Amino acid sequence: KAGVTQTPRYLIKTRGQQVTLSCSPISGHRSVSWYQQTPGQGLQFLFEYFSETQRNKGNFPGRFSGRQFSNSRSEMNVSTLELGDSALYLCASSPTLWAGGGETQYFGPGTRLLVL
Amino acid sequence: GESVGLHLPTLSVQEGDNSIINCAYSNSASDYFIWYKQESGKGPQFIIDIRSNMDKRQGQRVTVLLNKTVKHLSLQIAATQPGDSAVYFCAETNSGGSNYKLTFGKGTLLTVNP
């Protein structure tokens, strides 16, 4: 069974631009969570989507948004990029709603975003 | 505020030795804890988890210990192998809350010397 896939793997943008990242969960998984990883802040939870609905979100500004499609694939969008948005963005899937521990999450390899 | 921290940022061990990675947490409401392993260029990989109603849980070559009194979590790796070299994160969450979120520690880099 294929793992979690994320595209693109690497991305370079400039300040003020917007970016869309894509995540395809493991086949049959219906929950997708997004995380940001930086050397300074470590891994931080962004949001979780289940059944096309955002179920929870972390402490990030409204510039960070996401959505989930009926096939469980998810996209994350960051508008008006700032230098501090440079990070590794990880998504993780689980069979059902993760909700803080209901299922094991499986992480993808991440998308490395560099904002210049 | 909520925080999860690690006592040692780096740990170097000899192949075959046992490794112990420690983690402190501050949120007394956290009831679910997870250890992840992250190798270079990869996403975190689930290792083992433990709920607050347990003190110890064992997996294959790994054991997690939870001391709720002092809010301390540890990961023990038996007979450490070169393939165990990676960054290890502990994470905590309050699974019963409506605003659950996984809070990660900064990570410990484990280096296994052959």
Q: What pLDDT is recorded for position A56? A: 87
Q: Could you say which residues from 57 to 116 on chain A have a Cβ atom under 8 Å away from some Cβ of chain B?
A: 58, 90, 92, 99-102, 104-110
Give the span between the Cα atoms of B90 and A92, in whole angstroms: 16
Q: What pLDDT is recorded for position B7? A: 45
- Check pLDDT > 90 for residue A104: no
Give the span between the Cα atoms of B103 and A66, in whole angstroms: 20
Q: Could you say which residues from 49 to 68 on chain B have a Cβ atom under 8 Å away from some Cβ of chain A?
A: 49, 51
Query: Best interface-test mutation with B: which of A23, A43, A94 has the largest number of B CBs within 10 A?
Result: A43
Q: Does B37 touch chain A (CB under 8 A)?
A: no
- β-pairing verdict for B10-14 and B108-113: parallel
- Check pLDDT > 90 for residue A101: no
pLDDT band at A13 (very low <50, low <70, confident <90, very high): very high
Q: What pLDDT is recorded for position B9? A: 85
Coil, helix or strand for B39? coil
Q: How far is A18 from chain B (nearest CA, A)?
A: 24
Coil, helix or strand for B15? coil
Residue at token pair 């440079």: A86
HEC-encoded secondary structure of A51-102: CCEEEEECCCCCCEEEEECCCCCEEEEECCCCHHHCEEEEEEEECCCCCCCC
Chain B residues close to A45, C-beta within 8 Å: 101-103
Give the span between the Cα atoms of B3 and A49, in whole angstroms: 24
CA-based nearest residue in chain A for residue B93: A100
Q: B102 and A107: CB-CB below 8 Å?
A: no
Q: A92 and B43: CB-CB below 8 Å?
A: yes
Q: Which of A1-15, A76-90, B2-16, B50-64 has the lowest mean pLDDT?
A: B2-16
Q: What pLDDT is recorded for position B20? A: 97
Percent of chain A with pLDDT over 90: 81
Measured distance between the N- and C-terminal CA atoms of chain A, rounded to whole angstroms: 37
Q: What pLDDT is recorded for position B26? A: 80
Of residues B41, B42, B106, nearest to A42 (C-beta): B106
Q: A101 and B95: CB-CB below 8 Å?
A: yes
The per-residue pLDDT string of chain B (114 residues; one tens digit each, 9 = 90 and over) reads 334 544 448 999 999 999 999 999 888 888 899 999 999 989 999 999 999 999 999 999 999 999 999 999 999 999 999 999 999 999 998 876 666 778 888 899 999 998
> CA-CA distances (angstroms) from residue A58 to A6, A62, A63?
20, 11, 13
CA angle B60, A42, B8 (to 5 degrees): 60
Burial (CB < 10 A; 0-12, 13-18, 19+), residue A84, is exposed
